Structure 1
Amino acid sequence: MPWACGPIYAFHPGNGRVGGQNMGPVMISVPHAGRAYSAAMADRSRVPPERLMKLEDRYADRLIAGLLECGYPALVAHLPRAVIDLNRDPRDIDPKMIADIPRHLPIIQTAKQRAGLGLFPRSLPRYGGLWRGAMSWAEAEGRIKLGHEAYHQRLAEALNHCAAYHDQIILMDVHSMPPLATMQGDGKRADVVVGDLYGASASSRLSEIALNVVKAHGLVGALNQPYPGSYVLERHGRPLNGRHAIQLEISRDLYLDDSLAEPGEGMAAMQVLLVDMAEQLTRAVSREPRTSRDDGHGWACAAE
């Protein structure tokens, strides 16, 4: 696999203490943390490595260090987003990037793909095209099967294991975002965006708990704006079946240095925030059994 540099992902099984059973009800994923580029990918790139870095959720894997210490299970991607975006539908392929794409391949076109950020990132704003030439379908298919599908299969297995011990489980999908330029209605800029696909991937109550944790830590939170979530939530969030999934976008200026390239002084505070959030979500889902009657989001209704 010339496009890979080491393992595709790292799975951390947790220590079993969280939730008091074999595996707790909270699972962590970090799909955009990869930052090791193979020599083949570097040779193919039209831009220097620091440009490809713009695609990364820079050091997002270090944000979950406290969660790992506390025993939460986690799946962390090592494969860079520049190789394949694990948070995109595998059909979201720009045909211009494949030299010999099969004629009847079922592909979809999305706004993100048109902006250069489909399954195989093509370009970045202000920097233009990223790659020299098109790849072969054999290479693209290998990236999909050995990278994208392998990651999501492992995540599904871990979530199935969680669900074997708990009626309600939740996936915290950890990302980072550039500092937002736009303000909310109250004139404040969001520091953390909680995404639940507008209620399709998680109970609104769980999203509210996550936002309350952000607020309790003195930060500004937003729900679904401008990042509601994408393929990870679409594939793994099934709230009607007791499987919730939320996306967390943390502003990079909160945990990186002024250059937004290396860890900064705020890293520890963000690690504490995520541990606090996971603990509160653990308590919330542990209190509520799945029932045949719910509020439309897989959450048991209180008596009327």
Structure 2
Amino acid sequence: MASPFPGASYECLGTDSPNGPVVISVPHGGRDYPPALLEALRVPLSAIMGLEDRLIDLVGHAARSDEPMIVQTRPRAWIDLNRDERDRDPLIDLGARASGRGSSKVRSGLGLVPRRIGGHGDIWARRFTDAEMVARIASDHRPYHAALSACLAAVRARFGVAVLLDLHSMPPLGAADSYPRVVIGDRHGATAAMRFVRRVDATVRTAGIAVTRNAPYAGGHVVERHGDTWRGIHAIQLELDRSLYLDAALEAPGPGFDATVLLVRRIIAALAAEALGQPLPLAAE
């Protein structure tokens, strides 16, 4: 399905006639760095590439069957779709209110437009004007969320329920096998019914992978905004350890890529089965 917003910085797949209750969102996989971003950098491009959920979009594409999927193509450094549009940082944004929301993300330098990155410090050589920020919100942030909302509404209208799988990746939390390599985020029970969380948890554990819930990632703006359990829309953020599917340098697909794709495919199938009231399949493989 073509984007309903001409020039919008995301791609829509399979949204014309959804065949199942699961919708996939990939808000941090974008690698289309516009010239205006490159001109404003005070650090090398390689530094801000660390903000990407590196190649997680490739995992989503490979794991998807006919599920609707919406993928942001602009990078997180340009604008973070997993932040509220009000999370504007006055230290880099001339239009932000110095006494605004002041969320913990803004204070840490990871607001609507990230200000800092670990190991490199401040990202930008200048502050951005209010007009620049408003333009990014209007052309990138709002269209993505509008498209995702419309897709979820269409799925819910057809199946009576919709499940959003917001796909992310994370740096390794530790070297030992005991560290979680998958984190399920549901905003501490606010964005999805427990039965969906249990299905995801069981699927990951069956694959022999350590998993936890809401720590250190409880889910961001995407699931908080779109999850509405009272209306039958359930939203889960899924964080995958990048070492599961990337090489040792965490830059290119690695030996675990195919197994990670299969894991995500099974998670999607488990969520669909739960939404449609189907039993959990036996782990016969």
Q: By the TM > 0.5 criterion, same fold?
A: yes
Match of 2:209 among 216, 219, 222: 219
Within the candidate set 93, 97, 109, 1:98 is matched to 93
1:38 aligned partner, one-letter code: P
User: Which of 59, 63, 66 is the aligned partner of 2:55?
Assistant: 59
Query: Could you say which residue in structure 2 is the equivalent of 1:201?
Result: 191
1:272 aligns with 2:262: yes
CA distance in 1, matches of 2:262, 2:244: 13
| Aligned pairs (5 A) from 1:240-259 | 240-259=230-249
Higher Cα Rg, which structure: 1
The residue aligned with 1:146 is 139
Q: 1:174 to 1:72 in 2, by over 3 A?
A: same
Q: Deviations over 1:46-84 (max 9, x none)?
A: 11111011100000101112333x211100000100001
Partner deviation per Cα, 1:194-226 (whole Å, 9 max, x = no partner) = 100010000111101101111111111101111
Cα drift, residue 15 of structure 1: 8.0
Maintained 8 Å contact 2:204/2:263? yes
CA contact (8 A) 1:7 1:79 kept: no
CA drift of 1:167 comes to 1.6
Match of 1:298 in 2: none
Deviations 1:208-258 (A, max 9, x none): 110111111111110111101010011100012111000000000111111
Distance in 2 separating the partners of 1:15 and 1:43: 38
The structural deviation recorded for 1:98 is: 2.0
Determine the structure 1 residue equivalent to 2:3: none
Work out the CA distance in 2 between the residues paired with 1:146 and 1:34: 15
Root mean square deviation, CA, Å:
1.8
Moved runs in structure 1, 4+ residues, more than 2 A? 65-68
- Asked if 2 retains the 8 angstrom alpha-carbon contact of 1:98 and 1:135, the reply is yes
In 1, the alpha carbon distance for the partners of 2:63 and 2:153 equals 20
Partner of 2:80: 85
The one-letter code sitting in structure 2 at the alignment partner of 1:60 is I
Instruction: Give the letter aligned to residue 224 of structure 1.
Output: N
- CA shift at 1:24, angstroms? 1.2
> What residue number does 2:161 align with?
168
Q: Structure 2: how far apart are the matches of 1:25 and 1:106?
A: 41
TM-score (ref. length: structure 1): 0.85
Query: 1:192 touches 1:219 (CA, 8 Å); kept in 2?
Result: yes
Determine if contact 2:184/2:211 at 8 Å carries over to the other structure: yes
Structure 1 position 39 matched with structure 2 position 39: no
Q: Is the 8 Å Cα contact of residues 172 and 243 (structure 2) preserved in structure 1?
A: yes
Instruction: Give the residue type in structure 2 aligned to 1:253.
Output: S
Structure 1 unpaired stretches of 5+:
1-5, 17-21, 289-304
SS at structure 2 position matched to 1:94? coil
Q: Name the % identity.
A: 39
Q: Deviations over 1:93-123 (max 9, x none)?
A: 1112123x276x9941111111110011001
Partner residue, 2:13: 12
